[in-house]
Amino acid sequence: MQIKPILAALKRHKAGTVLIALQIALTLAIVCNALIIIRQRTEHLSRPTGMIETDLLTVANRWVGVDEKATPSLGKTDLEALRGMPGVVDATYANSYPLRGGGWSTSVNITPEKKKEMAHTTLYFSDDHALATMGLKLVGGRNFRPDEIDWVDPKAFDTTPVVIVSKALADKLYPDGSALGKVLYHSGATKPSTIIGIVERLQVPWTGTWAGNFAENAILIPRLLTGNFGSYLVRTQPGQLERLTKAAPALLFKTNRMRVIPDERGVRTFAQVREQAYKSDRGMAVLMGVVCAVLLAITAAGIVGLTSFWVGQRRKQIGVRRALGATRHDILSYFLTENLLIGAGGVIVGAVLAIGMNLWLVSHFEMERLSLLYVAAGVVALLLLGQGAVLAPAMKASRVPPVEATRSV
C-alpha cells in the first residue's frame, strides 16, 4: 500500500482529517483518565473487612439525659439483654466498626518516642465479645479475658496493658513476624501495650483514599468508652437477621426508653453498611464507565459519518481507480490505511493530552498517576475502534463499480 498518495489526498481534506484526529485525541485523553478513576474507585470495593459480614447487625445508640458515669451500667444491661435474645449468637458494644465512616485514628510506634510515626492505625474500643461478634479470625495469641475489660472516659484514655492488633499492623511494626508478646505505643500513650493477639484482618472505619495507606491497620482496645454514644454489633443465627433488625431495637427500647436510635442509619445490617460505604465509589465508577462507552460510540459514529461523506465525494475517483485496474481490496485497504494514518496522528496527540490531563488532576485531586499501560491500551482500543468504524463506509467504497468513472465527467 502506498502511503504517499493517501497523504496527498488527505491534504485536500484538511478540515475533516483534523476533526477526526482531534476527536480521537480528546477521546483517548478522557477515556484514559476515566479508566484511572474507575480503577481507583473499584479497587477497594471488594476489599474484605476481616469480619464475617453475613448475619451481622449494627445499632447506633445514644442515651438521653444520663451522666457519663452511668453509661457502664446501662451498657452492661443492654448487652446482657441483647445476648439473651433468642436468635442472637453474641453481641458487643464499640466506638466504631469497619466501613462506618467515623472513628478514632492515631499514630503508633514500638518505642515511646513521640516524634517518629511508624504506622497510622485505628483504635476500636470494645470488649472480649468483639472477636466472636465481628467474626474476626485470630491467627495468633489469645482473645481478651473478661477481667481485662473496663470502661474508660474517652477524654481520659491513656493506654491499656494488652491489645489485639491486625496482622497488617503487626507485620508493619515487627516485619520479622515476631509481634506477638511484643509492645507498642500509640500516640499519647505513656506506657507500653503488649500485643496478646493477632487477627488475620481488620479494616479501618474509613474507605477514603486518605485512609488508603493504613486501611488494614487496627488495634482492638479492651476498653468500652463511656459517653452517651456508641454502636451495638449483634451476630445472629442464620436466618434470624431480618427478624432481629426489628426485634433488637425494640428490645433496647423496652430495656430503657431514654435513648435515641437515629431513624437514618440507626439500625443497619452489615450488607447495608457496605453498600452505603461504597455507594459513591460504585456510582462514580458506573458514571465514568457510561461516559467512556458513550464517548467511544460517538467517536465511532463521527468517523462513520465523515468517512461516508468522503466516500460519497470520491465516487468518481474511486471509479477511475477501479477502471484503471485497482481491485476492490485495494480500495478497501486505501480507506483503512487512511483511517489508520489519521488515527495514529490522533493517538499521538491524545497520549500527550491524556498524560497532561492526568498530571493536572493528580495535582488538584486525590488522583493516581496514569500508568503507561492504560495509555497503551487506550491507543490500541481507539485505533481498533477507528478501523471498525471505517469498515462499513470502506466496504461501500469498494463496491463502487468502475463504470462510475464514465458518468457525469
Partner 1 sequence: MFAYYFQLGLRSLRRNPILTALMVMAIGFGVGASMITYSVFRATSNNPIPQKSGQLYAVQIANWKTDDLDKGEPPSALTYTDAMAFMQAHKAKRQTALYPIAPSVIPADASRLPIEENSYAWYGDAFAMFDIPFLYGGAWTQAQDDAHAAVVVIGRKLNDKLFNGANSVGKTIDLDGHDYRITGVIDEWNPQPLFFDPVNTGGFGDPIGLFIPFTRAVDLQMSTAGNNNCNDTPGPGWSNWIHSECIWIEYWAELPTTADADAYKRWLTGYAAEQQRAGRFKWAPNVRLRNVTDWLDFNKVVPPESKISLLVSLGFLLICLVNTIGLLLAKFMRRAPEIGVRRALGASRREIYVQFLVEAGTVGLTGGVLGLLLTGVGVLGVGWVFDEQIARLATLDASLVLLTLIAAVLATLLAAFYPTWRAAQVQPAWQLKSN
Interacting residues toward partner 1 by CB under 8 A? 15-16, 19-20, 22-23, 26-27, 29-30, 33-34, 37, 62, 64-66, 153, 155-156, 158, 188, 227-229, 253, 257-260, 262, 279-280, 283-284, 286-288, 291, 294-295, 298-299, 301-302, 305-306, 308-309, 312-313, 361, 364-367, 408
Q: Which residues pair with residue 308 across a beta bridge? A: none
- Please, which residue, 37 or 184, has the CB nearer to partner 1? 37
Query: At closest approach, how far in Å is the CB of 190 from partner 1?
Result: 8
**Shortest Cβ distance from residue 234 to partner 1 (Å)?**
20
Least Cβ distance, residue 171 to partner 1 (angstroms): 27
Closest CB 331 distance from partner 1, rounded Å: 20
Q: How far is the CB of 132 from partner 1 (least distance, A)?
A: 30
Q: Report the first-to-last Cα separation within the chain, whole angstroms.
A: 28
403, 405, 408, 409 alpha-carbon torsion, rounded to 10°: -150
Residue closer to partner 1 (CB basis): 144 or 157: 157
| 233, β-bridge pairs | 58, 92
The nearest distance, CB 399 to partner 1, in angstroms, is 19
Distance between CA atoms of 132 and 88, rounded to whole angstroms? 12
Residues 149 and 72: their CA atoms lie apart, in Å, by 11
Nearer to partner 1, 185 or 196 (CB): 185
* Least distance (Å) between residue 279 CB and partner 1: 8
DSSP state of 369: P
Taking the least distance from each CB to partner 1, the nearer of 255 and 308 is 308
- DSSP letters, 289-308, are HHHHHHHHHHHHHHHHHHHH
Q: Give me the residue label for grid cell 481485662.
A: 148
Within 10 A of 333 (CB to CB), how many other CB atoms are there? 15
168 vs 318 by CB, closer to partner 1: 318
Taking the least distance from each CB to partner 1, the nearer of 139 and 362 is: 362
CB of 310 to partner 1, least distance (A): 8
Nearer to partner 1, 201 or 259 (CB): 259
Cβ burial 241-251 (10 Å sphere, 16+ → b, else e): beebbebbbeb
C-alpha dihedral over 130, 131, 134, 140, to 10 degrees?
140
Which residue, 70 or 376, is less far from partner 1 as judged by CB?
70
d(CA 379, CA 391): 18
In DSSP terms, 53 is beta-bridged to none
Cα gap 25→340, rounded to integer Å: 13
As measured in angstroms, the least distance from the Cβ of 26 to partner 1 is: 5
d(CA 254, CA 78) in angstroms, rounded, equals 10
Query: Is the four-CA dihedral 160, 162, 165, 171 of positive or negative sign?
Result: positive
Helix 328-364 and helix 372-398, axial crossing angle in degrees, nearest 10: 150
The answer to whether residues 163 and 195 touch, using CB atoms and an 8 Å cutoff, is yes
Cell numbers 476489599: residue:
47
395 in Cβ contact with 329 (< 8 Å): no
Residue number with CB closer to partner 1 (16 or 87): 16
Q: Which is nearer to partner 1, 22 or 52 (CB)?
A: 22
Minimum CB–partner distance for residue 2 and partner 1 (Å): 26
